[in-house]
Each structure stands twice: as C-alpha cells, then as structure tokens.
C-alpha cells in the first residue's frame, strides 16, 4: 500500500463556524474521527487506509487544529449533532465511520444516535465508557513528557522535548486550546458518558473493536466491554503497542481496518432503522 | 490606609523528603501526612492569632478558601469567619473569598455570608474568587466553565441579597425556581465585595463597573503595577477615579526587632511558602480552559506559571514579601506604595508558612504599634481627607 496520496485541505461552513478537514483517496467514504492529539495531520494511517481504496475524510474536532471553536458545542451530545451536520454538509449519507480514542467515543455515540447513518463502525481504543474499576488515566494532570510516556509503548526519540531549549510558545498555546476543547467535552464525567454502555445495543452496523495491547491511557477492558455490548462485533488487539495506536503501529492498524472495511462494503452492510 | 491580617492556615509539617518525593503540597499530596491532632492545635493557634490582630487594631482579619492542600487548611472560610465573629469585636471579618467558581450551589454562599453578617454585626467583607487551578481537579468542576460559573454565581448572589421579592433564576449553570433567602444581610445593599485580580482585563472592568475592591495576588511589583493601573484605567474609562481603598495590595509581611533577626526568621518561612506551600505543576496552575489561550500567553510571557524557583533575595527585591525591622518595613512599604501608584489597603500575610506562634504575634504587634501609625495617612481619598 502506498501512503503518499496527498489529501485535499478543505473547509466546510456550518452555522456555528468552519470545520477543517483533510480528504484523500477514492472509493467508499470513510469518516475518520481522530484522537484528541494530532489534528490536521495526515499521518500515515489515513493515507494507508485511503491507499486500500477508500475516500478518507478526517475533520478537526471543534476547538482542534484549524477548525473553529464552536463554543455552543458543549458536550458529547452536541458533538453528535455536530457530526450529523458535518455528514449532511458533505453530502455523505452512510459512510464507514472509524474513530480513535476520543474520536472513537464520538463514533460510538453517533452510531447509537443514528444507526442508519453508519455503514460500518470501527472503534480503536475508544473512550466513552465509564468503568470505575478500569479508570482512564488523567491526561489533564500529566506533563507533556508524562503524556508521551503514557501514549507510546516505546516513545519515539523524536517526541522528547529538546533539552534546555526554550519552549515553543505558539505550540504551547495551540496545545492548550486543544486541551481546553477536550476538557469542555470530557472533564466530568471524565472521558465518558455513563449512559452510553446501555445504549450500545442500538448499533446495527458491522463493528470492529480494536485496541493496542499495552494501552496505558484507556485500559483494554474498555475495548473488551465495547465488543461485549455491541452485537456481533469483531475484536482485535495489536501487540506491543501503546495508546498512540495508529501513530505507533500505523501499518498494523491500517491493515486491520482496511481489511475490515473491504470485507464490509457499504452496499451490503448495515441494517437501517 | 487600612490594614488587614490575612491567614492561610497552612499545615507546615511537611516531611524531610517532600521536595524530592512530591510534585505539590496539594491535590495529590497524600492526606496520610495530615495529623488531625496537630491540625486541631493549629486551628486553635491560628484563630488566636487572628483574634489577637483584632485586639491590636488591625482593620480587618482575613481568611480564604483552599481545598485538598497543605498550603491552606480552610476548605470552608465561612466556618472560620463564624468562629471569629463571636470572638472579635472591631475588625472587619474578611472572607477573601468564597470560591464561587467551584461551588455546586452558590445560593449557599449568599445564605452563609448573610448569616455571618448578622453574627458579626455587619462586619463581613465578602470576597469572591474563582478557585485556583488544582481545585477544579479537586472538586471535579469543569475548568472550561470557570469564568461563566463565577459570573453567574456572582450575579445570583448579589440578586439574592438585594432583590426585594422572591425571584426565579434560569441560567446556563444554575437554575432555581424559588430564591428567597432568610436571613438577608444587615449591610445594605450588601456586604462589600472583594475580587482578586491576576491580570485579566475583564476582571478589572468587572470590578470598576461595580466599584468593588480589586486586590492583587502575589506577583512581582512591576506586574502588580500593571494590574492596578489597569483597574484605575477601567475606572477612568467609566468616568471616575477609584477611591484608594478599592485597591488592595496583598503581600507577606514579617517584622522583628532588627533587620538581621527578621531576615533570619523570615527566610525559612517564605521559602516554605513559595517553594513548598505553592509548589505545583503547570497542569495544576492552569488546567485547560481555566484561562483563555490569550491570557495563558500573557502568563507564560511574564513567567508566572508554576513559580516556586525564586530565591529569598528575589522575593524581597520583587516585592513578593516585605521583611525587616519596623523602620525598614515602613520604608519598604512606602517605596512599594510609590512603585504601585498607590493603594488604600494592605492585606498582609503575617502568618507565613512554618513561622512560629510567638514570632507571628510579635511581628503583628510590631507592625500594629510601629508601622501602621506611620503609614496610616497614605492611601486615603483626597475628598474624604478634607471632608
């Protein structure tokens, strides 16, 4: 698979502001809702999925990357309506939906709310469940260094800050803006919607639940619970990988996701409600 | 000039390996390190100190609110104010303040301050604060809602104190179908309001519009000057010159018989306050949304995030503490008065970290008898002086 399909840089206008997105590849549409880090990038993972024969659309969440803040989007229920608006604005009726971490939580809520809009559902170490016996680590209290340690099973050397160098003020401010958006949606209840688990039975799309085996942020128990509660869900773990998932092992995750999508073409998949 | 004696009620007994072992004295510092017997003795001692300040002639005695921390042992400042209300007679009882940004039910603050006003015979000053960063972790309040919650709670409390009739409240953060508080406060229209400022222009305007007292938090003189100027400018924009009393300078103060003795005793106390008591991570200081990205930029550029690294000498030079003999302290406060463009209230933190009871009592006594009378004429409104 080639990962060099250059994506188009686009904005769509919604009543509440502008949404920035990257779009690349050709084929069945895949809405990829990314994790809370790395907005606006076209890391190798979406490129690899696109190269498998899909049109991959990666929006920046409200308050992330080059998307506007959308201050009226206050909580997870608002995010669901936000992404229904995005799908409508894109003219995409029923895409494959792939979500990672925070984006996985949105994907699950979207599938619960509007099962008929989801061609297939892929949850990659998704947040969203409240499992008090397996708490999600507090990303808001971690220093950037601690966060990098928690994200990767083997943190890449490049993620270490330059020793003794002055901090990049613009980067600190941009990260604070995104953390602020994440906190708006997920400070309390922390990274979860206590009602989500009991609603998962509403999901009708073919579903893949996947997790990195060494997730130090969202314990693998969350993925297992998703797989238990979503009827017929496939379940996979990627070995020797941390929560950064498609950043740490992009090829493995792309392979896993692409083969799932290829085996569930939109025309055949997903009952309507 | 009005003078108040401010107490944080710290828990000074940190372990020897505190510096290496703990990121902070707050939030995650295990409360297994808290000895309730020692804590009870501290409360008794600290209340004695505040009561003594009343007897010494301080205009105000001040308490504040902090949560889950050795830095300050008053999760409820109103309880301490209640204890003081019945044991003091003259001084204003200053609650600086209630952290209304993190309160689940701000109507409770309106009720408790009204109670205190009655208990104290109308001596209560009511400060409102947002609550500091780590407290949004500690009380599980979304920091991205901090300012909105603060503003709405403020509006609700003022209306609850002043509305002549029962009303309903429908806000983004709070909803009450029946607001009709009993008791109502004695002071009319309501107890004086104090708001701390740390550079936000919104806060300066907010205070200036309502003629609230604007008080500084601990920061270098050049920065506090900017804040006070901002408040004065906000008032000027509204067409008036603020009464000097509406500008309150907060600073730790330590007085001893000689400069040498004062520095010897104050150094460990101040180092404890700034390096241990206030030790915290950047994530605790500014949780996401607690500030706007623009305000965070200002904080980062002025080097106020995190703190804790200043030397004792820098603290003194930067006006973050005033230490010395009565003559030296008088002189230094005169200097700071000039450098800050004037202020009408000095909120002195006299009980600093691990400083001992006898030291603090003596420091307060020297201040009250030898410093206050000399500085008293400063910071008084020209019109009230000639009236």
Paired strand residues for B193? B126
Paired strand residues for B216? B197
Ranges in chain B, pLDDT < 70 = 303-309, 382-387
Contact residues on chain B for A143, CB-CB shorter than 8 A: 281-283
Statement: residue A268 has pLDDT above 50: yes
How far is A176 from B223, CA to CA, in rounded Å?
Answer: 23
Residue A162 lies in a domain: yes
Instruction: For B287, name the nearest residue in chain A, comparing CA atoms only.
Output: A140
What 3-state DSSP class applies to A148?
A: helix
A183 and B287 within 8 Å at the Cβ level: the answer is yes
User: What tokens appear for B382 in the block?
Assistant: 């020209």
Best of A36, A63, A140 to mutate (most B CBs within 10 Å, chain B): A140
What contacts B304, CB < 8 A, 6 or more positions away?
A: B198, B219, B223
pLDDT of residue B65: 97
Residue A197 lies in a domain: yes
Residue A270 lies in a domain: no
Q: Is A1 on the interface with B (CB under 8 A)?
A: no
A91, burial (CB in 10 Å: exposed 0-12, middle 13-18, buried 19+): exposed
By Cβ distance, the residue of A141, A142, A184 closest to B289 is A184
User: What tokens appear for B122 in the block?
Assistant: 């109308």
pLDDT tens sequence across B39-60: 999 999 999 999 999 999 999 9
Statement: residue A66 has pLDDT above 50: yes
Residue A148 lies in a domain: yes
Minimal C-alpha gap between B141 and chain A (Å): 7
Whole-prediction pTM value?
0.94
CATH code at B2-386: 3.20.20.30
Q: Is A183 on the interface with B (CB under 8 A)?
A: yes
CA-to-CA separations, B126 to B94, B114, B144, in angstroms, rounded: 6, 10, 25
Instruction: For A147, name the nearest residue in chain B, comparing CA atoms only.
Output: B283
| Region of residue B346 (left: phi > 0; alpha: psi -120 to 50; beta: else) | beta
Q: Is B77 on the interface with A (CB under 8 A)?
A: no
In A134-173, the residues whose Cβ lies within 8 Å of chain B are: 138, 140-143, 167, 169, 172-173
Q: Is B301 on the interface with A (CB under 8 A)?
A: yes
How far is A102 from A126, CA to CA, in rounded Å?
Answer: 6
Taking the CA atoms of chain B, what radius of gyration do you get in angstroms? 20
**Lowest-confidence segment of A77-81, A169-173, B138-142, B271-275 by average pLDDT:** A169-173
Task: Return the domain boundaries, chain B.
Answer: 2-386
- Per-residue burial over B7-16, b if 16 or more Cβ lie within 10 Å, else e, is bbbbbbebee
Task: Kindly report the CATH number assigned to the domain that includes residue A186.
Answer: 3.40.50.1820
φ and ψ at residue B181, rounded to 5 degrees: -75, 140
By Cβ distance, the residue of A172, A174, A183 closest to B288 is A183
A141 and B283 within 8 Å at the Cβ level: the answer is yes
Residue A269 lies in a domain: no
The pLDDT confidence band at residue A155, using thresholds 50, 70 and 90, is confident
- Structurally, chain A folds into a number of domains equal to 1
B142 and A176 within 8 Å at the Cβ level: the answer is no
What contacts B192, CB < 8 A, 6 or more positions away?
A: B125, B126, B212, B213
Q: Is B173 on the interface with A (CB under 8 A)?
A: no
Percent of chain A residues topping a pLDDT of 70: 90
Residues A253-260: what's their mean pLDDT?
97
pLDDT of residue B301: 78
A173 and B297 within 8 Å at the Cβ level: the answer is yes
pLDDT of residue A37: 82
Q: Is B138 on the interface with A (CB under 8 A)?
A: no
Contact residues on chain A for B143, CB-CB shorter than 8 A: 183, 187
Minimal C-alpha gap between A139 and chain B (Å): 10
By Cβ distance, the residue of B143, B293, B300 closest to A187 is B143
A183 and B143 within 8 Å at the Cβ level: the answer is yes
Contact residues on chain B for A177, CB-CB shorter than 8 A: 293
What 3-state DSSP class applies to A249?
A: coil
Minimal C-alpha gap between A191 and chain B (Å): 12
B167, burial (CB in 10 Å: exposed 0-12, middle 13-18, buried 19+): middle
pLDDT of residue A162: 55
Is-contact B361 B46, C-beta < 8 A?
no
Minimal C-alpha gap between A184 and chain B (Å): 6
Is-contact B364 B56, C-beta < 8 A?
yes
The dihedral built from the CA positions of residue B140, B146, B152 and B154, taken in this order, carries a sign that is positive
By Cβ distance, the residue of B142, B284, B296 closest to A176 is B296
A176 and B293 within 8 Å at the Cβ level: the answer is yes
What 3-state DSSP class applies to B311?
A: coil
Question: What's the gap between Cα A255 and its chain centre?
Answer: 17
Is-contact A156 A247, C-beta < 8 A?
no
Best of B26, B146, B291, B293 to mutate (most A CBs within 10 Å, chain A): B293
Contact residues on chain A for B286, CB-CB shorter than 8 A: 176
Query: In this structure, are strands A17-24 and A8-14 parallel, antiparallel, or unpaired?
Result: antiparallel
> For all residues of chain A together, what is the average pLDDT?
92
Nearest alpha carbon to residue A118 among A230, A205, A7, A223: A205
B144 and A183 within 8 Å at the Cβ level: the answer is yes
How far is B380 from B370, CA to CA, in rounded Å?
Answer: 19
Kindly provide the ipTM of the predicted complex, given to two decimals.
0.93
The pLDDT confidence band at residue A210, using thresholds 50, 70 and 90, is very high
Minimal C-alpha gap between A179 and chain B (Å): 6
How far is A180 from A69, CA to CA, in rounded Å?
Answer: 10
Minimal C-alpha gap between A177 and chain B (Å): 6
Residues A232-240: what's their mean pLDDT?
97
pLDDT of residue A6: 82
A142 and B283 within 8 Å at the Cβ level: the answer is yes
pLDDT of residue A40: 66
Contact residues on chain A for B137, CB-CB shorter than 8 A: 138, 140-141
> What count of other Cβ atoms lies within 10 Å of the Cβ of residue A4?
9
pLDDT tens sequence across A82-132: 999 999 999 999 999 999 999 999 999 999 999 999 999 999 999 999 999
| Region of residue A179 (left: phi > 0; alpha: psi -120 to 50; beta: else) | alpha
Nearest alpha carbon to residue B116 among B156, B76, B157, B79: B79
What 3-state DSSP class applies to B144?
A: helix
B382, burial (CB in 10 Å: exposed 0-12, middle 13-18, buried 19+): exposed
Percent of chain B residues topping a pLDDT of 90: 91
Is-contact B194 B248, C-beta < 8 A?
yes
Instruction: For A183, name the nearest residue in chain B, comparing CA atoms only.
Output: B288
Distance from the first to the final alpha carbon of chain B: 17
Nearest alpha carbon to residue B297 among A74, A24, A249, A174: A174
Paired strand residues for B194? B127, B213
In A40-69, the residues whose Cβ lies within 8 Å of chain B are: none
B293 and A173 within 8 Å at the Cβ level: the answer is yes
pLDDT of residue B59: 98
B288 and A176 within 8 Å at the Cβ level: the answer is yes
B281 and A143 within 8 Å at the Cβ level: the answer is yes
């Amino acid at each position: 698979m080639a990962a060099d399909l250059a994506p188009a840089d686009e904005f769509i206008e919604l009543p509440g502001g502008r949404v920035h997105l990257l779009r690349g590849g050709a084929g069945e549409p895949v809405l990829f809702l990314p994790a809370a880090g790395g907005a606006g990038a076209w890391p190798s993972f979406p490129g690899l999925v696109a190269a498998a024969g899909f049109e991959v659309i990666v929006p920046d969440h409200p308050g992330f990357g080059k998307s506007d803040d959308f201050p009226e989007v206050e909580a997870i229920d608002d995010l669901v309506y936000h992404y229904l608006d995005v799908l409508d604005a894109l003219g995409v009726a029923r895409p494959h939906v792939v979500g990672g971490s925070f984006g996985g939580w949105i994907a699950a809520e979207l599938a619960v709310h509007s099962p008929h809009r989801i061609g297939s559902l892929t949850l990659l170490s998704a947040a969203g469940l409240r499992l008090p016996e397996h708490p999600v680590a507090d990303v808001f209290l971690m220093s950037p260094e601690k966060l990098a340690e928690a994200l990767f099973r083997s943190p890449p050397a490049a993620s270490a800050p330059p020793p003794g160098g002055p901090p990049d003020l613009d980067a600190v401010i941009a990260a604070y803006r995104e953390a602020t958006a994440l906190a708006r949606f997920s400070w309390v209840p922390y990274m979860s919607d206590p009602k989500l688990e009991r609603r998962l039975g509403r999901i009708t799309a073919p579903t893949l639940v996947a997790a990195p085996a060494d997730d130090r942020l969202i314990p693998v128990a969350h993925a297992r619970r998703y797989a238990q509660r979503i009827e017929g869900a496939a379940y996979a773990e990627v070995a020797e990988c941390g929560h950064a998932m498609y950043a740490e092992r992009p090829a493995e995750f792309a392979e896993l996701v692409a083969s799932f999508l290829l085996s569930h073409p939109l025309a055949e998949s997903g009952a309507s409600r | 000039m009005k003078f108040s004696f401010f107490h944080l009620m710290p828990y000074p007994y940190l372990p020897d390996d505190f510096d290496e072992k703990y990121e902070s004295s707050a939030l995650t510092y295990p409360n297994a390190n808290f000895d309730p017997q020692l804590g009870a003795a501290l409360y008794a001692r600290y209340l004695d100190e505040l009561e003594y300040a009343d007897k010494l002639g301080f205009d105000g005695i001040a308490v504040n609110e902090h949560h889950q921390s050795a830095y300050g042992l008053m999760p409820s400042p109103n309880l301490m104010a209640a204890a003081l209300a019945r044991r003091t007679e003259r001084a204003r009882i200053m609650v600086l303040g209630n952290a209304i940004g993190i309160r689940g039910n701000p109507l409770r603050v309106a009720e408790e301050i009204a109670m205190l006003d009655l208990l104290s015979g109308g001596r209560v000053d009511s400060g409102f604060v947002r609550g500091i960063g780590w407290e949004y972790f500690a009380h599980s309040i979304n920091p991205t809602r901090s300012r909105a919650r603060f503003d709405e709670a403020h509006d609700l409390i003022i209306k609850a104190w002043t509305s002549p009739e029962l009303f309903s409240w429908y806000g983004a953060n709070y909803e009450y179908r029946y607001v009709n508080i009993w008791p109502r406060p004695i002071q009319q229209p309501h107890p004086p309001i104090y708001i701390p400022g740390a550079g936000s222009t919104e806060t300066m305007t907010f205070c200036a519009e309502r003629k609230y007292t604007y008080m500084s938090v601990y920061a270098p003189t050049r920065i506090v000057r900017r804040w006070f100027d901002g408040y004065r400018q906000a008032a000027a924009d509204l067409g008036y010159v603020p009464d000097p009393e509406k500008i309150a300078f907060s600073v730790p103060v330590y007085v001893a018989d000689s400069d040498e003795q004062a520095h010897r005793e104050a150094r460990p106390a101040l180092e404890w306050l700034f390096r241990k008591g206030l030790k915290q991570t950047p994530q605790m200081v500014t949780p996401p949304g607690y500030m706007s990205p623009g305000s965070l930029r200002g904080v980062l550029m002025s080097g106020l995030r995190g703190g804790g690294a200043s030397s004792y000498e820098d603290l003194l030079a930067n006006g973050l503490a005033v230490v010395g003999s009565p003559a030296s302290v008088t002189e230094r406060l005169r200097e700071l008065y000039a450098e800050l463009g004037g202020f009408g209230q000095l909120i002195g933190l006299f009980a600093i970290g691990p400083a001992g009871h006898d030291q603090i009592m003596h420091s307060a006594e020297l201040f009250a008898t030898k410093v206050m009378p000399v500085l008293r004429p400063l910071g008084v409104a020209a019109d009230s002086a000639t009236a």
